[in-house]
Amino acid sequence: MPDLLLELFSEEIPARMQRQAAEDLKKLVTGALVDRGLVYEGARAFATPRRLALTIAGLPSRQPDTREEKKGPRISAPEAARLGFLKSIGVPESEFHRFDLYEGHSISLPERGLSVEVRGTGKDATAFALIEREGVETLAVLAEILPGIIRSFPWPKSMRWGAASAQPGSLRWVRPLRAILATFGAETEDTEIVPFEVDGLKAGNITYGHRFMKPEAIEVRRFADYVTRLEAAKVVLDADRRKEIIRADARNLAFAVGLELVEDEGLLEEVAGLVEWPVVLMGGFEEAFLDVPAEVIRATIRANQKCFVLRKADGSLANRFLLTANIEAKDGGKVIIAGNERVIRARLSDAKFFWENDKRVWEGYKEKDKLDAALARFQKVTFHEKLGSQWDRIERIRALAKELCKVTGADEKLVDRAVTLCKADLLTEIVGEFPEVQGFMGRLYAGLIGEHPSVAAACEEHYKPVGPNDRVPTDKVSVTVALADKLYTLMRFWAIDEKPTGSKDPYALRRAALGSIRQLVENRVRISLLSFFCRHVRLPAMLAPPNADPAEEARKARSALAFDLLSFFHDRLKVMLRDSGARHDLVDAVLGNGETNDDLLLVVRRVEALGKFLDTEDGKNLLAGYKRAANLLRDEEKKAKTTNETEGAFEAAADPALLTEASEKALHAALAKAGEAVLVALEKPDFEAAMRAMASLRAPVDAFFDAVMVNAEDPAIRRNRLALLATLRRVTRQVADFSKIAG
C-alpha cells in the first residue's frame, strides 16, 4: 500500500516548539485523512531545528465508495426544518423547488449521487436521503487537504516574510518556510509528487542537508531513503535518537576523565532540539569558581550556555562542563570550546562577585534590626498591581500559615519565622541576576545567620513541588509555608478574575493547585478547603445591587468564588489521579456523589477504596444490581412525569407493611443496616469498613431480583418496591454516584 512522506523545511524551529509541532502535524494530517475515509496503518512525526517531517504508512490508493442513508424530518414539519435538511445533504438552493416533499414522492440527482424519498403515510410520512459518493484518488485528497493544514498550522508564534507579506492572507510560519517535500507511492513503485503549492512554494521531492557541513539539495523518494540520505548529509532526524547520542557521548567523556555527568532531562530535551548533528565537547573553568554554590554554577552554565555540569566521585561539583555543538569542527572543536569557556568564565565571575557581596551583607543580618530594615524594603516592591506589595503578600501568607498550623501540626513560631524570611533572597543581587536559584539561596542565607534548620529548609522548599515529578517536602514547617503560599496565590488571583484560560496560565495557577493537592495527599493533611476559602478569600470592591445588604452580597460573592476555586481543585485532582492510574469513572463517581468533597485526602482514599471494592466479586455483582435498579427507576420516573403519579413518589421510605415477599423483606432490612453502617464508617472515616457494609448488600440484592417482579400489578406494591430500589440508590450514593461507573 502507498505511503506519504511530507517535510516542511524552514529557517528555524525553536526547540521548545518542536515536539508539539510534530504532534500537531501528525494529528492534523491523519485526522483529515480519516475524516475522508482513508484509514492508515501507522504514522510517525519528527522535528529538527529546520524541518517538520511526517510519514504515514499503509494508505489506500483511493477513497472507498460510500453509501449513507440519512433520516430527515416529517413532511409535516415546518418549512425551515425541511429546507435545512435539503441543505445538509448537499442539495443546492437552486434545486430546492424540485424537492416538494409529499407522501409517496421520490426524486434523485444522479450527478450528485443523491436521492430522496418519502416513506410512511399520514403524520408519520418522513423524508429519507440516500447519499452515494464515489471515492477519489488519495493523491488528489492529499493535494486538497495539505495546503489548508500548512496555512492554518497552530504555531504559538508565527511571522510573515518577503514581498508576499504585504498581501492579505499571506502564509504565516514560525520562521520563513523555504521548501515543501511531499511524495506518495507504494514501496515497489515510483513515487509521485503530491501536486499542490502554498504561496508560490511548490511541493517537490527535494530536501536539504546540514546547514554548514552538507547544505546541498537531496532528492528523495520515500521515507526509507529520506532518513538514510539525511544521515549521510549530517542530519539525525529523530529527536529521541539525538538525545541518546548526546547522553551516551556525555557519559563517556565524563567517565574518561574520572567524572560523572549530572543528568538533566529538561536540558537534554532542549539541546537535542538545537542541533541536527550533535557533537559533545568538554570545556573547563578555574577551580577558584568552585567557591560559588554548586546550584549557582549549574544554573548559570545551564541557562546561558545550555551546557551540562560534571561532579566528582564524592558528589562535589567539578570544574568541567560539556557542551553540544552542531558541527564537526576541523580543529576538533577547540575554537568552540574556547568561546564557551570565555562566556562561562565571565558569568561565573559575576556570580562569584554577587555571592561574596551578598554573604557580607547577610553576615550583618545577624543583628535583628538590620534584617528587619532590609525586609521592610518589600513595602516598596510590587507583587501585582491589583494585589499590592510583596510586604502585603507576606503578611497575608503569615495569617494563612498560622491557621494551617492547626491541621499540619507545625510549630507556629518556626512557621511564622519561615514566612518572614522565605522571600528574603529575592532582595539579593545573586537572585536578581540568576532568578532560577531563588529558594536555594534563601536556604543558604538563612543557615548563614543561624536560623533553625526547619526555617532554612522552608525558605527553599516552600516553592516545591514545581512539577509533577518534583519531590514534595515532608518537614511540617515547609509543608505549612508551601500550602499557605500556594493557597494565597490561588485565592488572590481568583478574586481579581485572573484565572487560567485554555493553554494560558501566566501565573502558574494550575501548578500551584496541583502542588497544593500533592502536599495535602502525600503528607496526609486533612482540611476543609471550601470553608477555608470562604473565610480567607478577599474580594476587590464590588458594586452591590440597589437596596442590597452589602455584607450579604459579599458573603454570596465569597461563597461563589470559593465553590468555583474548589471546582478548579477537583479538575486538577482528576488529572493527578488519572495520571497515577486511577480509573476516570471512579474519580467522577466519587466527586459526583452530591457532597462538597473538599477534603481532598479523603477523596483520594475513597477512590482507592472504591477501586479495590469493585475489583471483588461482591463489588462487581452489586454494581450490576445497582445498574438494573437504576434503569428500572429511570424508566418509571419518566413515566411518572407523564401520568398522575406524584413526582418523587419513589423517594419515600418503603412501607414495611407492603413487603410481601421474603426477599424484599430481607433487602429492606439489609439496606437499613448497611445504610447506618456506611454512615458510621464514613464519619470515622473508614472507607474499607464502608465498602464491607456495601458488600453485605450483594446477596440480598441478587435474591430480590431473582424472586421479585418489581412492576407488580398492584400500584401500591409496585411503588413500594421501587422505593426499595431508590433506597439502594441513596445508600450507594453515600459512597459514590454508581451511575457514573462503567460496567
Which of 521, 554, 577 is where one domain is finished?
Answer: 577
Q: Is 582 domain-assigned?
A: no
Predicted local confidence at residue 68, as pLDDT: 80
pLDDT of 119 strictly over 90: no
Distance CA 115, CA 133 (A): 12
**Are both 569 and 664 inside the same structural domain?**
no
Which pLDDT value is given to residue 532? 95
**438 and 514 share one domain:** yes
Higher pLDDT, 600 or 121: 600
- Examine residue 594 and state whether it is found in any structural domain, yes or no: no
Q: Is the pLDDT of residue 436 over 90?
A: no
pLDDT confidence of residue 647: 46
Q: Is the confidence at residue 418, as pLDDT, over 50?
A: yes
Domain-embedded: residue 599: no
Residue 408 has pLDDT above 90, yes or no: yes
Share of the chain above pLDDT 70, in %: 97
My answer on whether 438 and 508 are in the same domain is: yes
> In which band, very low, low, confident or very high, does the pLDDT at 648 lie, cut at 50, 70 and 90?
low
Within 13 A of 246's CA, how many CA atoms are on the CB side? Answer: 30
Residue 466 is predicted with a pLDDT of 85
The model's pLDDT over 660-676, given as tens digits with 9 standing for 90+, comes to: 889 889 999 999 999 99
Q: What does the pLDDT look like over 260-309, one tens digit per residue?
A: 999 999 999 999 999 999 999 999 999 999 999 998 999 889 988 999 99
Report helix angle 412-421 to 453-461, nearest 10.
Answer: 50
In terms of pLDDT, which residue wins out, 168 or 430? 430
Residues sharing a CB contact under 8 Å with residue 528, sequence separation 6 or more, in sequence order: 598, 599
- Given a cut of 60, whether residue 404 has pLDDT beyond it is yes
* Burial of 483 from C-beta contacts in 10 A (0-12 / 13-18 / 19+): buried
- Cell readout for 452 is 533553625
Q: Model pTM greater than 0.85?
A: no
Residue 69 makes CB contacts below 8 A (sequence gap 6+) with 128, 129, 130, 131
Residue 600 forms part of a structural domain: no
CATH code for position 683: 1.10.730.10
**563-596 pLDDT, tens digit each:** 999 999 999 999 899 888 888 899 999 998 888 8
Q: Name the 3-class secondary structure at 354.
A: helix
- How far apart, in whole angstroms, are the C-alpha atoms of residue 33 and residue 63? 9
Residue 309: count of CB within 10 angstroms of its CB = 21
Task: Say whether both 278 and 180 belong to one domain.
Answer: no
Q: Which of the listed residues 75, 110, 133 is the one where a domain comes to its end?
A: 133
381 and 285 in a common domain: no
- Inform me whether the pLDDT recorded for 478 exceeds 90: yes
Q: What angle do CA 580, 584, 589 make, to 5 degrees?
A: 125
**What pLDDT score was predicted for residue 111?**
72
Least confident of 2-16, 173-187, 708-722: 708-722
- Tell me the pLDDT band of 632, cut-offs 50, 70 and 90: confident
Strands (E), 462-568: none
How far apart (Å, rounded) are the C-alpha atoms in residues 529 and 393?
Answer: 20
pLDDT at 661: 87
Mean pLDDT value across the chain? 90
Write down the pLDDT at residue 313: 95
**585, part of any domain:** no
Asked whether the CA dihedral 329, 335, 339, 340 is positive or negative, the reply is positive
Do residues 735 and 610 lie in contact, with contact meaning Cβ atoms separated by under 8 Å? yes
Closest by Cα among 512, 714, 254, 463 to 264: 254
Q: How many whole angstroms separate alpha carbon 708 and alpha carbon 714? A: 13
Same domain for 220 and 243? Answer: no
Q: Which domain holds residue 626?
A: 610-740
Residue-wise pLDDT for 151-208, tens only, equals 999 999 999 998 878 888 889 999 999 999 999 998 878 899 999 999 999 999 999 9
**309 shares a domain with 250:** yes
| Rounded Cα–Cα distance for residues 457 and 465 (Å) | 14
Final residue before a domain boundary, out of 558, 577, 596: 577
Q: Residues with Cβ < 8 Å from 271, sequence gap 6 or more?
A: 15, 246, 278, 306, 324
How many domains would you assign to the chain? 5
Domain co-membership, 20 together with 169: yes
Residue 53 in any domain: the answer is: yes
How far apart are alpha carbons 242 and 255 in whole angstroms? 20
Residue 590 lies in a domain: no
Question: What would the pLDDT profile of 479-507 be if each residue is shown by its tens digit?
Answer: 999 999 999 999 999 999 999 987 788 99
Number of CB atoms found within 10 A of residue 711's CB = 12
Catalogue the long-range contacts made by 692-698 (C-beta closer than 8 Å, 24 or more residues apart): 694/613, 694/618, 694/619, 694/622, 694/731, 694/732, 694/735, 695/613, 695/616, 695/618, 695/619, 695/622, 696/670, 697/622, 697/625, 697/670, 697/671, 697/728, 697/731, 698/618, 698/621, 698/622, 698/625
> Span 722-737, mean pLDDT?
90
Provide the grid cell at 666: 430481607
In the chain the first and final C-alpha atoms are separated, in Å, by 39
With a cut of 70, say whether residue 420 has pLDDT above it.
yes
Could you tell me the three cell numbers for 547? 437596596
Same domain, 335 and 403: no
Q: Is pLDDT of 541 > 70?
A: no
- Residue 320 forms part of a structural domain: yes
User: What does the alpha-carbon distance between residue 677 and residue 731 come to, in Å, rounded to a whole number?
Assistant: 10
Domain co-membership, 79 together with 181: no
Helices marked H in 234-331 — which ranges?
A: 239-256, 265-272, 294-305
Q: State residue 107's pLDDT score.
A: 78
> In this structure, are 116 and 34 located in the same domain?
no
Do 436 and 552 lie in a common domain? yes
